Amino acid sequence: MLNVERLLKIDISQKNGRAFRRFLLRWYRQHGRDLPWRQTRDPYAILVSEFMLQQTQVATVLPYYKKWRQRFPNFAALARASETEVLHAWQGLGYYARARNLHATAKRVVDRHLGRFPNSIEQMEQLPGVGKYTAHAVATFAFDQSVPIVEANTSRVLSRLFDLRIPVDSTAGRNALWDYAASRAPKKSPAAYNSALLDLGALVCLPRKPKCGICPVKKFCCATNPESLPIKRPRPETKQLVERHSFIASRDKLLLVQSANRWRGMWILPPTRSTSTRPIHSSHFPFTNHRVTLQIFRQRRSKIDQDCERWFSIQALESIPIPSPHRRAILDLLP
């Protein structure tokens, strides 16, 4: 049973909090990760990294982040770009709503904030795709504000430090985590402290096998069975979905359609209802709580819908945004 008062009493005495931070920061100075977005205080660079890191691993983000910064070095450059360019640069990272929101945020910053990212959390949260965590992350990493951050890594660490025995994805759990995190946020060097907490989760307080034996804050940890934490609500069952598309090639051209749904703005193989022949390609990909089977059928077409369909030369495919499952299928099928 959660006893927040008891835990807060144990933990947030000023002396305890100071010692906790000292141990954590000493460890961070020796073992913290050297990430490119930590070498800057530019809110644009930090915002880009935070958008990319939502639901994506650091190792996957690194090459994308580097290329993105070269292609769109600031809010003005991103605001000027077309949606096609933005989706093309994001291609492969998935969850394309993040790219569209980042693009919309850049336009808003240029139009309404004269190109300067606001430093108030309240104003940040008005921007497309900027939620509580992202606003707090930019506030601390770009503006060194003494605010807490709670995301996957820090929520795991905090739930164990405080032995939080309610689901962290429930309203009560989320509120408790933000309260815990706020109780520890220091006035001095908040950016380093928050980075240290993130790295503790990424490197030591691991999801399956936490390395408690080498943990720098072990003596402050209340977890009796850390591997059982954090508690999460049961996931919705994975549903199976079959999606059928056609491969329509003519000479050195391929017919694609601009998606208006999941991959809005990107080019995909045209959907089909046909199942009269055997698929020439079949693969699987995950999408939220679905496991999608992608089946491709070879077809011919004399007429095309001029509004959303277009023939592309094979050479042009490299330069247009195509979601990864369809790009993989095309590469598989091209001679």
Of 173 and 230, CB closest to ligand SF4 = 230
Calpha distance 136→115 (Å, rounded): 20
- Closer residue to ligand SF4 (CB): 110 or 205: 205
CB 86 within 8 A of CB 77: no
Q: How far is the CB of 157 from ligand SF4 (least distance, A)?
A: 5
Nearest partner of 280 among 305, 299, 255, 300, judged by Cα: 299
Residue 193 CB, nearest approach to ligand SF4 (Å) = 15
Beta carbon nearer to ligand SF4, 218 or 310: 218
DSSP string over 295-332? EEEE---S---TTTEEEEEGGGGGGS---HHHHHHHHH
Angle at 32 between CA 70 and CA 149, to 5 degrees: 80
CA gap 128, 140 in Å, rounded: 19
Q: What is the smallest separation between the CB atom of 67 and ligand SF4, expressed in angstroms?
A: 34
Select 54 or 153, whichever has its Cβ closest to ligand SF4.
153
In the chain, the DSSP E strands lie at: 239-247, 249-250, 253-258, 267-268, 281-287, 290-298, 309-313
Binding site for ligand SF4 (CB under 6 A): 157, 160-161, 204-205, 210-212, 215, 217-218, 221, 223, 226
With tokens 């943990």, the residue in question is 215
Helix (H) or strand (E) holding 198: helix 190-203
> Cα 157 from chain centroid?
19
Q: What is the C-alpha radius of gyration for the chain, rounded to an integer number of angstroms?
A: 24
- Nearer CB in complex with ligand SF4: 11/309: 11
Quick one: tokens of 173?
């759990």
> Closest separation between CB of residue 211 and ligand SF4, Å?
6
Fill in the DSSP letter of residue 96: T
Q: Report the catalytic residues.
A: 50
Residue 191: CB minimum distance to ligand SF4, A:
21
